[in-house]
Structure 1
Amino acid sequence: MLRTAVLGLLLIVSPIWCEPLSAADPELKMKVLVPAYFYPGGEGLQKWRTLIASAAQAPIVAIANPDSGPGKKIDENYREVFKLAKGSKITLIGYVTLSYAQRPVSAVKGDIDSWVHFHPEVQGIFFDEQPSEAEHAPFALECFDHARKTIRNATVVSNPGVPCAKEYLARKDYPTVCLFEHQDGFDAHRPPAWTADLPADRFATLLYNTRTADDMKRQFQQVVRNRSGYVFITDAANPMPWGRLPSYWDEELKLVRDANGQ
Protein backbone atom coordinates (compact mmCIF):
# COMPACT_ATOMS: atom_id res chain seq x y z
CA MET A 1 0.00 0.00 0.00
CA LEU A 2 1.14 3.54 -0.66
CA ARG A 3 2.63 4.66 2.62
CA THR A 4 2.84 8.42 2.79
CA ALA A 5 0.03 10.82 3.55
CA VAL A 6 1.13 13.97 1.75
CA LEU A 7 1.20 16.99 4.01
CA GLY A 8 -1.16 19.27 2.23
CA LEU A 9 -4.12 18.86 -0.06
CA LEU A 10 -3.99 15.56 -1.92
CA LEU A 11 -5.11 15.74 -5.53
CA ILE A 12 -5.83 13.03 -5.60
CA VAL A 13 -15.19 -1.85 -18.56
CA SER A 14 -18.21 -0.98 -19.14
CA PRO A 15 -21.18 -0.85 -16.79
CA ILE A 16 -22.68 -4.15 -15.74
CA TRP A 17 -26.01 -4.79 -14.08
CA CYS A 18 -25.59 -6.08 -10.56
CA GLU A 19 -28.03 -8.45 -8.92
CA PRO A 20 -28.88 -7.22 -5.41
CA LEU A 21 -28.00 -9.30 -2.40
CA SER A 22 -30.86 -11.74 -1.94
CA ALA A 23 -30.57 -11.84 1.84
CA ALA A 24 -28.29 -10.74 4.58
CA ASP A 25 -25.86 -13.40 5.75
CA PRO A 26 -26.25 -13.57 9.55
CA GLU A 27 -22.58 -14.57 9.87
CA LEU A 28 -21.28 -11.74 7.68
CA LYS A 29 -21.31 -8.37 9.41
CA MET A 30 -19.41 -6.07 7.10
CA LYS A 31 -17.42 -2.95 7.89
CA VAL A 32 -15.82 -0.36 5.66
CA LEU A 33 -12.04 -0.18 6.07
CA VAL A 34 -10.96 3.25 4.81
CA PRO A 35 -7.29 4.12 4.21
CA ALA A 36 -7.96 7.79 4.96
CA TYR A 37 -4.66 9.16 3.69
CA PHE A 38 -5.92 12.69 3.16
CA TYR A 39 -4.30 15.36 5.27
CA PRO A 40 -6.82 17.09 7.57
CA GLY A 41 -6.15 20.65 6.47
CA GLY A 42 -8.37 22.81 4.27
CA GLU A 43 -10.50 20.61 2.02
CA GLY A 44 -8.91 17.56 3.62
CA LEU A 45 -10.55 18.36 6.94
CA GLN A 46 -13.94 18.40 5.23
CA LYS A 47 -13.19 14.94 3.82
CA TRP A 48 -12.56 13.77 7.36
CA ARG A 49 -15.78 15.37 8.57
CA THR A 50 -17.70 13.54 5.86
CA LEU A 51 -16.00 10.26 6.72
CA ILE A 52 -16.68 10.57 10.45
CA ALA A 53 -20.32 11.50 9.86
CA SER A 54 -20.72 8.52 7.52
CA ALA A 55 -20.12 6.12 10.40
CA ALA A 56 -23.69 6.81 11.47
CA GLN A 57 -24.79 5.03 8.28
CA ALA A 58 -22.51 1.97 8.31
CA PRO A 59 -19.68 0.59 10.46
CA ILE A 60 -16.40 2.28 9.49
CA VAL A 61 -12.81 1.68 10.54
CA ALA A 62 -10.62 4.55 9.31
CA ILE A 63 -6.83 4.46 9.08
CA ALA A 64 -5.04 7.68 10.02
CA ASN A 65 -1.60 8.16 8.48
CA PRO A 66 0.17 11.46 9.23
CA ASP A 67 3.59 10.51 7.82
CA SER A 68 3.89 6.81 6.93
CA GLY A 69 3.16 6.31 10.61
CA PRO A 70 2.52 8.55 13.61
CA GLY A 71 5.19 11.07 12.67
CA LYS A 72 7.91 12.48 14.89
CA LYS A 73 5.74 14.91 16.81
CA ILE A 74 2.11 15.74 17.47
CA ASP A 75 0.31 17.12 14.43
CA GLU A 76 -2.40 19.49 15.65
CA ASN A 77 -4.52 18.89 12.56
CA TYR A 78 -4.67 15.21 13.41
CA ARG A 79 -5.48 16.11 17.00
CA GLU A 80 -8.52 17.85 15.55
CA VAL A 81 -9.50 14.66 13.70
CA PHE A 82 -9.39 12.64 16.90
CA LYS A 83 -11.46 15.29 18.66
CA LEU A 84 -14.06 15.16 15.89
CA ALA A 85 -14.13 11.36 16.06
CA LYS A 86 -14.70 11.30 19.82
CA GLY A 87 -18.29 10.41 20.52
CA SER A 88 -18.95 9.33 16.94
CA LYS A 89 -19.43 5.75 15.75
CA ILE A 90 -16.20 5.64 13.75
CA THR A 91 -13.26 3.45 14.80
CA LEU A 92 -9.99 5.31 14.25
CA ILE A 93 -6.76 3.31 14.00
CA GLY A 94 -3.17 4.34 13.28
CA TYR A 95 -0.86 3.37 10.43
CA VAL A 96 2.38 1.48 11.16
CA THR A 97 4.54 -0.23 8.53
CA LEU A 98 6.16 -3.62 9.06
CA SER A 99 8.32 -3.07 5.94
CA TYR A 100 8.01 -6.77 5.08
CA ALA A 101 9.97 -7.72 8.23
CA GLN A 102 12.88 -5.45 7.29
CA ARG A 103 12.29 -3.10 10.24
CA PRO A 104 13.55 -3.87 13.73
CA VAL A 105 10.77 -4.95 16.05
CA SER A 106 11.83 -2.12 18.36
CA ALA A 107 11.08 0.44 15.62
CA VAL A 108 7.62 -0.99 15.04
CA LYS A 109 6.88 -0.98 18.76
CA GLY A 110 8.18 2.58 18.94
CA ASP A 111 5.63 3.67 16.33
CA ILE A 112 2.83 2.01 18.28
CA ASP A 113 3.97 3.76 21.45
CA SER A 114 4.10 7.09 19.60
CA TRP A 115 0.54 6.67 18.39
CA VAL A 116 -0.64 6.21 21.96
CA HIS A 117 1.50 9.09 23.22
CA PHE A 118 0.40 11.55 20.50
CA HIS A 119 -3.22 10.40 20.25
CA PRO A 120 -4.38 8.45 23.33
CA GLU A 121 -7.79 8.04 21.69
CA VAL A 122 -6.40 5.76 18.96
CA GLN A 123 -8.40 2.53 18.88
CA GLY A 124 -6.02 0.18 17.13
CA ILE A 125 -3.26 -0.26 14.57
CA PHE A 126 -3.17 -0.93 10.83
CA PHE A 127 0.03 -2.82 10.05
CA ASP A 128 0.94 -2.22 6.42
CA GLU A 129 3.50 -4.12 4.34
CA GLN A 130 3.08 -7.33 6.29
CA PRO A 131 5.26 -10.16 4.97
CA SER A 132 3.33 -13.16 3.70
CA GLU A 133 5.76 -16.03 4.31
CA ALA A 134 5.34 -18.29 7.35
CA GLU A 135 8.94 -17.75 8.44
CA HIS A 136 8.21 -14.09 9.25
CA ALA A 137 5.06 -14.78 11.27
CA PRO A 138 6.81 -14.61 14.69
CA PHE A 139 8.03 -11.08 13.85
CA ALA A 140 4.54 -9.91 12.96
CA LEU A 141 2.89 -11.67 15.89
CA GLU A 142 5.21 -9.90 18.32
CA CYS A 143 4.14 -6.58 16.82
CA PHE A 144 0.47 -7.52 17.01
CA ASP A 145 0.94 -8.47 20.65
CA HIS A 146 2.46 -5.10 21.46
CA ALA A 147 -0.49 -3.29 19.90
CA ARG A 148 -2.94 -5.31 21.97
CA LYS A 149 -0.97 -4.78 25.18
CA THR A 150 -0.62 -1.05 24.55
CA ILE A 151 -4.14 -0.23 23.32
CA ARG A 152 -7.11 -1.56 25.24
CA ASN A 153 -9.49 -3.61 23.07
CA ALA A 154 -7.36 -2.76 20.06
CA THR A 155 -8.64 -3.23 16.54
CA VAL A 156 -5.68 -4.87 14.79
CA VAL A 157 -5.61 -5.06 10.99
CA SER A 158 -2.63 -6.26 8.98
CA ASN A 159 -2.01 -5.89 5.27
CA PRO A 160 0.07 -8.31 3.24
CA GLY A 161 -2.11 -7.29 0.27
CA VAL A 162 -1.91 -10.88 -1.00
CA PRO A 163 -2.80 -14.29 0.46
CA CYS A 164 -0.46 -15.01 3.35
CA ALA A 165 0.50 -18.07 5.36
CA LYS A 166 -2.12 -19.15 7.88
CA GLU A 167 0.48 -18.87 10.66
CA TYR A 168 -0.33 -15.15 10.90
CA LEU A 169 -3.78 -16.13 12.16
CA ALA A 170 -2.81 -19.21 14.13
CA ARG A 171 -3.62 -17.82 17.58
CA LYS A 172 -6.86 -16.95 19.28
CA ASP A 173 -6.16 -13.20 19.15
CA TYR A 174 -5.31 -13.19 15.44
CA PRO A 175 -5.76 -9.95 13.51
CA THR A 176 -7.88 -9.11 10.52
CA VAL A 177 -5.74 -9.50 7.39
CA CYS A 178 -6.14 -7.90 3.98
CA LEU A 179 -5.65 -10.69 1.44
CA PHE A 180 -6.22 -8.56 -1.66
CA GLU A 181 -5.15 -4.99 -2.39
CA HIS A 182 -4.96 -4.05 -6.06
CA GLN A 183 -6.83 -2.67 -9.05
CA ASP A 184 -6.55 -5.78 -11.26
CA GLY A 185 -7.30 -9.47 -10.99
CA PHE A 186 -10.02 -9.46 -8.35
CA ASP A 187 -12.53 -11.35 -10.51
CA ALA A 188 -10.19 -14.35 -10.48
CA HIS A 189 -9.18 -13.99 -6.83
CA ARG A 190 -10.20 -16.74 -4.44
CA PRO A 191 -9.09 -16.80 -0.80
CA PRO A 192 -6.97 -19.72 0.44
CA ALA A 193 -8.86 -22.82 1.54
CA TRP A 194 -7.78 -22.36 5.17
CA THR A 195 -9.80 -19.14 5.43
CA ALA A 196 -13.03 -21.16 5.48
CA ASP A 197 -12.26 -22.16 9.07
CA LEU A 198 -12.21 -18.56 10.32
CA PRO A 199 -14.94 -15.92 10.64
CA ALA A 200 -15.41 -13.39 7.85
CA ASP A 201 -14.42 -10.47 10.06
CA ARG A 202 -10.82 -11.72 9.94
CA PHE A 203 -10.47 -10.75 6.27
CA ALA A 204 -10.34 -7.49 4.35
CA THR A 205 -10.33 -6.41 0.70
CA LEU A 206 -9.06 -3.09 -0.70
CA LEU A 207 -9.85 -2.27 -4.33
CA TYR A 208 -8.98 0.88 -6.27
CA ASN A 209 -9.49 2.29 -9.77
CA THR A 210 -12.96 0.75 -9.84
CA ARG A 211 -14.35 3.36 -12.16
CA THR A 212 -18.13 3.15 -12.01
CA ALA A 213 -20.78 2.44 -9.42
CA ASP A 214 -21.88 -0.59 -11.44
CA ASP A 215 -18.33 -1.96 -11.37
CA MET A 216 -18.22 -1.32 -7.64
CA LYS A 217 -21.46 -3.22 -7.08
CA ARG A 218 -20.21 -6.18 -9.11
CA GLN A 219 -16.97 -6.30 -7.15
CA PHE A 220 -18.84 -5.94 -3.88
CA GLN A 221 -20.74 -9.12 -4.73
CA GLN A 222 -17.40 -10.89 -5.17
CA VAL A 223 -16.23 -9.55 -1.80
CA VAL A 224 -19.32 -11.06 -0.17
CA ARG A 225 -18.79 -14.39 -1.93
CA ASN A 226 -15.19 -14.39 -0.72
CA ARG A 227 -16.36 -13.89 2.89
CA SER A 228 -14.41 -10.69 3.42
CA GLY A 229 -15.86 -8.80 6.35
CA TYR A 230 -13.96 -5.55 5.72
CA VAL A 231 -14.06 -3.77 2.38
CA PHE A 232 -13.17 -0.52 0.67
CA ILE A 233 -13.70 0.07 -3.04
CA THR A 234 -12.79 3.36 -4.70
CA ASP A 235 -12.65 4.92 -8.15
CA ALA A 236 -9.49 6.83 -7.19
CA ALA A 237 -6.34 5.53 -8.89
CA ASN A 238 -2.57 5.62 -8.63
CA PRO A 239 -0.41 7.41 -7.67
CA MET A 240 -2.63 7.94 -4.60
CA PRO A 241 -5.78 5.81 -4.60
CA TRP A 242 -6.41 6.54 -0.93
CA GLY A 243 -6.46 10.33 -1.23
CA ARG A 244 -10.23 10.79 -1.22
CA LEU A 245 -13.54 9.04 -0.75
CA PRO A 246 -15.05 7.41 -3.85
CA SER A 247 -17.56 9.27 -5.98
CA TYR A 248 -20.09 6.49 -5.26
CA TRP A 249 -19.49 6.61 -1.50
CA ASP A 250 -23.16 6.72 -0.49
CA GLU A 251 -23.97 3.75 -2.73
CA GLU A 252 -21.13 1.75 -1.21
CA LEU A 253 -22.38 2.48 2.29
CA LYS A 254 -25.84 1.30 1.28
CA LEU A 255 -24.44 -2.01 0.04
CA VAL A 256 -22.78 -2.53 3.42
CA ARG A 257 -26.02 -1.73 5.25
CA ASP A 258 -27.96 -4.13 3.02
CA ALA A 259 -25.38 -6.89 3.54
CA ASN A 260 -25.75 -6.38 7.30
CA GLY A 261 -29.52 -6.52 7.11
CA GLN A 262 -29.89 -2.93 8.31
Structure 2
Amino acid sequence: MIDIAGILAENIAYIVMVTLGGMLISWSVHFVPVGGAPAAMAQATGIGTGTVQLAAGAGLTGLVTAGAVMNVSDSVALVVASGAVGAMIMIAVTMIVGTWVYVYGVGVPPASAKVDYDPITKDRQDLYVSQGTEGHGLPTVSYVSGVIGGALGGIGGAMIYYALMSTSTTLSQSDLVALASIFAVGIFFVNAVIPSYNIGGTIEGFHDPKFKKWPKAVVASFVATLMCAFVGVMAIGGL
Protein backbone atom coordinates (compact mmCIF):
# COMPACT_ATOMS: atom_id res chain seq x y z
CA MET A 1 0.00 0.00 0.00
CA ILE A 2 1.41 3.36 -1.04
CA ASP A 3 1.54 5.97 1.71
CA ILE A 4 0.29 8.91 -0.37
CA ALA A 5 0.24 11.40 2.51
CA GLY A 6 3.74 10.39 3.59
CA ILE A 7 5.18 10.70 0.08
CA LEU A 8 3.61 14.13 -0.44
CA ALA A 9 4.73 15.39 2.98
CA GLU A 10 8.29 14.18 2.43
CA ASN A 11 8.56 15.73 -1.02
CA ILE A 12 6.43 18.87 -0.68
CA ALA A 13 9.41 21.13 -1.43
CA TYR A 14 9.99 19.32 -4.73
CA ILE A 15 6.32 19.65 -5.67
CA VAL A 16 6.64 23.40 -5.16
CA MET A 17 9.86 23.43 -7.18
CA VAL A 18 8.26 21.59 -10.11
CA THR A 19 5.29 23.97 -10.05
CA LEU A 20 7.52 27.05 -10.06
CA GLY A 21 9.55 25.57 -12.90
CA GLY A 22 6.41 25.06 -14.97
CA MET A 23 5.30 28.64 -14.36
CA LEU A 24 8.72 29.91 -15.45
CA ILE A 25 8.47 27.89 -18.66
CA SER A 26 5.04 29.35 -19.39
CA TRP A 27 6.33 32.87 -18.83
CA SER A 28 9.43 32.24 -20.94
CA VAL A 29 7.40 31.32 -24.02
CA HIS A 30 6.07 34.89 -24.21
CA PHE A 31 9.62 36.22 -24.61
CA VAL A 32 10.49 34.04 -27.60
CA PRO A 33 9.91 35.77 -30.99
CA VAL A 34 7.60 33.37 -32.81
CA GLY A 35 6.61 34.19 -36.38
CA GLY A 36 5.12 30.90 -37.50
CA ALA A 37 4.38 30.31 -41.18
CA PRO A 38 4.30 34.05 -42.05
CA ALA A 39 7.83 34.47 -40.70
CA ALA A 40 8.98 31.50 -42.76
CA MET A 41 7.97 33.58 -45.81
CA ALA A 42 9.52 36.76 -44.33
CA GLN A 43 6.09 38.31 -43.81
CA ALA A 44 6.23 38.57 -40.02
CA THR A 45 8.91 39.28 -37.44
CA GLY A 46 10.29 36.28 -35.58
CA ILE A 47 11.52 32.75 -36.18
CA GLY A 48 9.64 30.81 -38.84
CA THR A 49 8.25 28.00 -36.71
CA GLY A 50 5.70 27.41 -33.97
CA THR A 51 5.63 28.41 -30.32
CA VAL A 52 5.75 24.88 -28.96
CA GLN A 53 8.63 23.80 -31.20
CA LEU A 54 10.81 26.76 -30.22
CA ALA A 55 10.02 26.60 -26.52
CA ALA A 56 10.50 22.84 -26.38
CA GLY A 57 13.72 23.01 -28.39
CA ALA A 58 15.30 25.55 -26.07
CA GLY A 59 13.94 23.92 -22.93
CA LEU A 60 14.96 20.39 -23.84
CA THR A 61 18.48 21.62 -24.55
CA GLY A 62 18.45 23.07 -21.05
CA LEU A 63 17.29 19.72 -19.69
CA VAL A 64 20.17 17.94 -21.41
CA THR A 65 22.77 20.34 -20.00
CA ALA A 66 21.18 20.21 -16.55
CA GLY A 67 21.23 16.41 -16.65
CA ALA A 68 24.88 16.41 -17.66
CA VAL A 69 25.83 18.70 -14.77
CA MET A 70 23.84 16.59 -12.28
CA ASN A 71 26.20 13.72 -13.08
CA VAL A 72 29.07 15.66 -11.53
CA SER A 73 27.39 17.99 -9.02
CA ASP A 74 24.36 18.03 -6.71
CA SER A 75 24.39 21.83 -6.44
CA VAL A 76 20.98 23.18 -7.40
CA ALA A 77 22.54 26.51 -8.38
CA LEU A 78 24.93 24.86 -10.85
CA VAL A 79 22.22 22.64 -12.30
CA VAL A 80 19.81 25.54 -12.80
CA ALA A 81 22.55 27.77 -14.24
CA SER A 82 23.61 25.07 -16.69
CA GLY A 83 20.01 24.65 -17.82
CA ALA A 84 19.73 28.38 -18.44
CA VAL A 85 23.00 28.56 -20.38
CA GLY A 86 22.17 25.52 -22.53
CA ALA A 87 18.76 26.90 -23.50
CA MET A 88 20.18 30.38 -24.14
CA ILE A 89 22.84 29.02 -26.49
CA MET A 90 20.30 26.96 -28.42
CA ILE A 91 17.81 29.79 -28.96
CA ALA A 92 20.57 32.33 -29.66
CA VAL A 93 22.12 30.13 -32.37
CA THR A 94 18.69 29.48 -33.88
CA MET A 95 17.95 33.21 -34.07
CA ILE A 96 21.33 34.26 -35.48
CA VAL A 97 21.21 31.60 -38.22
CA GLY A 98 17.64 32.65 -39.00
CA THR A 99 18.80 36.25 -39.28
CA TRP A 100 21.53 35.25 -41.74
CA VAL A 101 18.92 33.50 -43.89
CA TYR A 102 16.60 36.51 -43.85
CA VAL A 103 19.32 39.07 -44.57
CA TYR A 104 21.55 37.21 -47.02
CA GLY A 105 19.09 34.68 -48.41
CA VAL A 106 15.76 36.48 -48.65
CA GLY A 107 17.28 39.94 -48.78
CA VAL A 108 15.20 41.72 -46.13
CA PRO A 109 16.45 43.79 -43.17
CA PRO A 110 15.38 42.81 -39.64
CA ALA A 111 12.47 45.11 -38.79
CA SER A 112 9.58 45.17 -36.34
CA ALA A 113 6.08 46.30 -37.28
CA LYS A 114 4.99 46.60 -33.64
CA VAL A 115 7.15 49.61 -32.78
CA ASP A 116 8.52 52.57 -34.75
CA TYR A 117 11.86 52.45 -32.94
CA ASP A 118 13.75 49.47 -31.52
CA PRO A 119 13.45 49.82 -27.70
CA ILE A 120 17.09 48.76 -27.26
CA THR A 121 19.06 50.28 -30.16
CA LYS A 122 16.57 53.12 -30.89
CA ASP A 123 16.95 52.33 -34.60
CA ARG A 124 14.04 53.31 -36.87
CA GLN A 125 11.86 50.31 -37.77
CA ASP A 126 8.82 51.42 -39.76
CA LEU A 127 10.87 52.67 -42.72
CA TYR A 128 12.26 49.19 -43.34
CA VAL A 129 9.06 47.15 -43.06
CA SER A 130 8.09 45.86 -46.51
CA GLN A 131 4.62 46.78 -47.72
CA GLY A 132 2.01 44.13 -46.98
CA THR A 133 4.05 42.47 -44.22
CA GLU A 134 4.10 42.63 -40.43
CA GLY A 135 7.85 42.99 -40.25
CA HIS A 136 10.55 40.44 -41.01
CA GLY A 137 13.72 39.01 -39.59
CA LEU A 138 14.84 39.40 -35.98
CA PRO A 139 15.57 42.96 -34.85
CA THR A 140 17.76 43.46 -31.78
CA VAL A 141 14.87 43.73 -29.32
CA SER A 142 13.42 40.41 -30.50
CA TYR A 143 16.84 38.74 -30.29
CA VAL A 144 17.42 39.92 -26.72
CA SER A 145 13.88 38.93 -25.76
CA GLY A 146 14.44 35.45 -27.19
CA VAL A 147 17.64 34.95 -25.19
CA ILE A 148 15.81 36.01 -22.01
CA GLY A 149 13.05 33.56 -22.84
CA GLY A 150 15.58 30.79 -23.38
CA ALA A 151 17.16 31.50 -20.00
CA LEU A 152 13.83 31.40 -18.16
CA GLY A 153 12.77 28.23 -19.97
CA GLY A 154 16.08 26.55 -19.23
CA ILE A 155 15.86 27.48 -15.56
CA GLY A 156 12.31 26.14 -15.36
CA GLY A 157 13.19 22.89 -17.08
CA ALA A 158 16.28 22.38 -14.91
CA MET A 159 14.26 23.02 -11.74
CA ILE A 160 11.72 20.37 -12.75
CA TYR A 161 14.41 17.82 -13.57
CA TYR A 162 16.36 18.51 -10.37
CA ALA A 163 13.23 18.23 -8.23
CA LEU A 164 12.15 14.94 -9.78
CA MET A 165 15.67 13.52 -9.50
CA SER A 166 15.76 14.51 -5.82
CA THR A 167 12.42 12.91 -4.94
CA SER A 168 12.70 10.16 -2.30
CA THR A 169 12.49 6.77 -4.02
CA THR A 170 13.86 3.23 -4.01
CA LEU A 171 14.46 3.24 -7.78
CA SER A 172 17.91 2.55 -9.18
CA GLN A 173 19.80 5.56 -10.56
CA SER A 174 19.28 4.57 -14.19
CA ASP A 175 15.54 4.01 -13.71
CA LEU A 176 15.22 7.29 -11.82
CA VAL A 177 16.96 9.21 -14.61
CA ALA A 178 14.67 7.66 -17.21
CA LEU A 179 11.47 8.33 -15.28
CA ALA A 180 12.46 11.86 -14.24
CA SER A 181 13.39 12.69 -17.84
CA ILE A 182 10.05 11.43 -19.16
CA PHE A 183 8.08 13.48 -16.64
CA ALA A 184 10.28 16.57 -17.14
CA VAL A 185 9.81 16.49 -20.91
CA GLY A 186 6.07 15.92 -20.54
CA ILE A 187 5.65 18.79 -18.09
CA PHE A 188 7.69 21.02 -20.38
CA PHE A 189 5.42 20.31 -23.34
CA VAL A 190 2.32 20.99 -21.24
CA ASN A 191 3.69 24.40 -20.31
CA ALA A 192 4.76 25.15 -23.87
CA VAL A 193 1.30 24.46 -25.28
CA ILE A 194 -0.69 26.55 -22.78
CA PRO A 195 1.02 29.87 -23.72
CA SER A 196 0.64 29.13 -27.43
CA TYR A 197 -3.14 29.26 -27.02
CA ASN A 198 -2.76 32.43 -24.96
CA ILE A 199 -0.59 34.13 -27.61
CA GLY A 200 -2.83 33.02 -30.47
CA GLY A 201 -0.45 33.32 -33.40
CA THR A 202 2.74 35.34 -33.59
CA ILE A 203 4.61 37.39 -31.00
CA GLU A 204 7.76 39.51 -31.38
CA GLY A 205 8.98 39.54 -27.79
CA PHE A 206 8.51 41.59 -24.64
CA HIS A 207 7.74 44.74 -26.65
CA ASP A 208 4.77 43.10 -28.38
CA PRO A 209 1.31 44.11 -27.03
CA LYS A 210 0.45 40.40 -26.73
CA PHE A 211 3.17 40.03 -24.08
CA LYS A 212 0.83 41.65 -21.54
CA LYS A 213 -1.35 38.53 -21.67
CA TRP A 214 1.28 36.40 -19.89
CA PRO A 215 -0.37 36.39 -16.41
CA LYS A 216 -3.32 34.33 -17.72
CA ALA A 217 -1.00 31.67 -19.11
CA VAL A 218 1.10 31.56 -15.94
CA VAL A 219 -2.01 31.04 -13.77
CA ALA A 220 -3.22 28.26 -16.08
CA SER A 221 0.24 26.68 -15.98
CA PHE A 222 0.24 26.86 -12.18
CA VAL A 223 -2.88 24.71 -12.04
CA ALA A 224 -1.72 22.29 -14.75
CA THR A 225 1.82 21.94 -13.39
CA LEU A 226 0.64 21.45 -9.82
CA MET A 227 -1.39 18.46 -10.97
CA CYS A 228 1.57 17.15 -12.99
CA ALA A 229 3.84 17.64 -9.98
CA PHE A 230 1.57 15.55 -7.75
CA VAL A 231 1.43 12.77 -10.33
CA GLY A 232 5.18 12.87 -11.00
CA VAL A 233 6.22 12.87 -7.36
CA MET A 234 3.68 10.16 -6.50
CA ALA A 235 4.84 7.98 -9.39
CA ILE A 236 8.53 8.30 -8.55
CA GLY A 237 8.12 8.30 -4.77
CA GLY A 238 5.80 5.30 -4.81
CA LEU A 239 8.27 3.06 -6.64
If the TM-score is normalised by the length of the shorter chain, which range does it land in? under 0.3
- Work out which structure has the larger RCO, using CA pairs closer than 8 Å and 6 or more positions apart in sequence: 2
Task: Answer 1 or 2: which has greater helix percent.
Answer: 2
| TM-score (structure 2 length as normaliser) | 0.24
| TM-score (structure 1 length as normaliser) | 0.22
